[in-house]
Structure 1
């Protein structure tokens, strides 16, 4: 395990949490859950029939010591969950609807988090990202001031020196294809909160574009400017500036040349917000391929409770790192 992931695991151990794992029929999920217990990070809550989970674990040589279970194949369990949902004052789904929808394991995991029976939910080894995001939006919901979910990656870029050394937060690189001003503002707010809680940084958020402070005009730049205005209105505590070209955002000399007036972000940004998913996807791959960066995540963000989406090709060590960051956010 590399140094970054080791640090995340150590931080997760400080305040262990209950993690819902809907994909209990996946051997790698069981191995990850075993490591969660072994590292003292929390209690895995496996969604499914305990006998089936333990049979698969025995077949794979996985210890289930420390596991908890929620058997969503049992109708009485689903009805009890639905009744708790109603007792907590949630009225967007009827008791019958909750009981019916929680037959699906990932939906059940989200209901467990919503009802406080788990602190966070980790899925994505078998479910596509779209299904995980849709379920989280439907049953956990978005945080206040956030119009759409998004993702944030942490890039560790050799040779780069910024406020956080070689590290930068990058968003959104995986979820929202063509964000409008409201979406972009929510991505900026979510990203600032994520790096503050996860990394302990003071966020300095740069809204990127092909223009710096009016050096060009285009309707797409207007979207970025409006997003900056909305961030200032919704969260005046967040240091956010734009529109900024990449060099003006992270290179002090370029910022001094291009940005007129005072800016708490220009040349010192530690979080970069891409104007759309094209730019985000290309940008993160450029720093990985040509900058030889390690990119951690992506972290799903914007929900009212923490959710993570595994890459379906992720090895167990990477999954454990994802769960560690999930637990830190739940703290």
Structure 2
């Protein structure tokens, strides 16, 4: 059974409510309908209720598969606002929130914040910036985390890692040149994401062009500082480095290069790139020469699961990301 098969099985065993604020988008509605009809999620379409129902009928969808939330329904909106402003540490108050909730993206996230839905899924009609801003404003960031980042899951044929052919990598999509604190946030978030999604015991390697001082320079100093911050902030997590990539994933190389005890060296299941240059190139090398399937990016750092999918993604890929997001919500 492949990784996606296992994730789909988990989703079907515990379907979560996923809000779709871009419900009128044809690809998004199709993906929501198919994942809902197949029993993986409970799709909640957020927007103009009449327009959504008409579009669903025209496209041949059974309305009973969906829950439809009309953002123009004032009683429901008032109840949501009351619940939201009563939450601790909310940024927006009643009047400002009421204005924001004219936008289905913000309305869906308020529903998520008060636990009427488990996931907000967007990214086709809204830009990444739109989704990140709404997420930070309404959902907020996890305690101790100040950086939104991403993680991907690579299924690499022929790779004999500690989790078989699977390897989690981040950040390959959001943070261009993270400083030491941001890099530590990325590592901590990655561990929590992997634990929630796959039930792995995270073993997270901070990689660079140096293994334990074999090289010197500012780029290495940043990774070393990030490791110190991460270990101080979350001593419960197995985060280690700085390692070269081969020392992180190969037991034979780790035996030669890492002359101290490590829970991570040679058996890392999470790789944290030092910056987006390395991350982007690294993932593409794994895909092109390792013939890997790469799932994601999965946004992380928020208090709850917020998903920003690719605008150009086909329906099949959107469905996969919806299911992954639902399973992450089950594990948090």
TM-score normalised per structure 2: 0.95
Residues 1-331 of structure 1: matches in 2 within 5 Å? Answer: 3-331=2-330
Give SS of 1:215's match. Answer: coil
Determine the C-alpha separation between the residues in 2 that align with 1:66 and 1:306.
Answer: 22
Segment of structure 1 superposing worse, 121-130 or 62-71: 62-71
TM-score normalised per structure 1: 0.95
For residues 229-248 of structure 1, give each alpha carbon's deviation from its aligned partner in whole angstroms, at most 9, with x where no partner exists: 11211111211111111111
Determine the C-alpha separation between the residues in 2 that align with 1:213 and 1:89.
Answer: 43
Native 8 Å contact 2:90 2:138 kept in 1 = no
For residues 155-200 of structure 1, give each alpha carbon's deviation from its aligned partner in whole angstroms, at most 9, with x where no partner exists: 0111110101111000001111111111111111111111111112
Determine the C-alpha separation between the residues in 2 that align with 1:316 and 1:6.
Answer: 17
Determine the C-alpha separation between the residues in 2 that align with 1:38 and 1:77.
Answer: 26
Native 8 Å contact 1:34 1:64 kept in 2 = no
Native 8 Å contact 1:30 1:62 kept in 2 = no
Determine the C-alpha separation between the residues in 1 that align with 2:257 and 2:269.
Answer: 18
Give SS of 2:173's match. Answer: coil
Deviation at 1:220, TM superposition (A): 2.0
Aligned length: 330
Residues 3 and 250 of structure 1: CA distance in aligned 2, closer, same or farther (over 3 Å): closer
Determine the C-alpha separation between the residues in 1 that align with 2:202 and 2:107.
Answer: 34
Determine the C-alpha separation between the residues in 1 that align with 2:141 and 2:198.
Answer: 22
Deviation at 1:119, TM superposition (A): 1.0
Moved over 6 A (4+): none
Structure 1: unaligned runs, 5 residues or longer? none
Structure 2: unaligned runs, 5 residues or longer? none
Deviation at 1:107, TM superposition (A): 1.6
Deviation at 1:38, TM superposition (A): 1.5
Residues 91 and 206 of structure 1: CA distance in aligned 2, closer, same or farther (over 3 Å): closer
Give SS of 2:110's match. Answer: helix
